[in-house]
A = this chain, B = another copy of it.
Amino acid sequence: MGIKDRKEKQKLDIRKQILDASVRLFVEEGFEHVTIRKIADIIEYSPTTIYHHFKDKNEILFNLHELGFAKFMEMNLNLADIANPLLRLHKMGENYIEFGLTHPEFYDVMFIQKAPMEALEQMENCDWDRGDAALNGLKELIASCMEHGYVKKGNVEAVSMAIWGMVHGLVSLAIRDRLGKLVDKEHMKATMHQSLNWLMGIMDESIRKG
Contact = CB atoms under 8 A, between A and B. Distances in A.
Interface of A: 111-114, 117, 120, 126-128, 131-132, 135, 152, 154-155, 157-159, 161-162, 164-170, 172-173, 176-179, 181-183, 191-192, 194-199, 201-203, 205-210
A165 B161 contact: no
Given A166-B169, A176-B113, A201-B206, A128 B181 contact: yes
Contacts of A167: 165, 169
A168 B173 contact: yes
B127 A172 contact: no
20 contacts: A111-B176, A112-B172, A128-B182, A132-B181, A135-B182, A158-B194, A159-B195, A161-B195, A162-B166, A162-B199, A165-B165, A167-B169, A168-B172, A168-B173, A169-B170, A202-B202, A205-B206, A205-B207, A205-B209, A206-B206
B209 A114 contact: no
Q: How many copies does the complex hold?
A: 2
Nearest to A165: B169
Nearest to A111: B178
Contact of A203 (B117, B176, B202): B202
B195 A162 contact: yes
Contacts of A192: 161, 165
Contacts of A152: 202, 205
Given A120-B181, A169-B165, A169-B169, A195 B128 contact: no
Residue among A161, A182, A203 with the most chain B CB within 10 A?
A161
Contact of A157 (B126, B166, B191): B191
A192 B209 CA distance: 25
A120 to B, nearest CB: 7
Contacts of A127: 181
A207 to B, nearest CB: 8
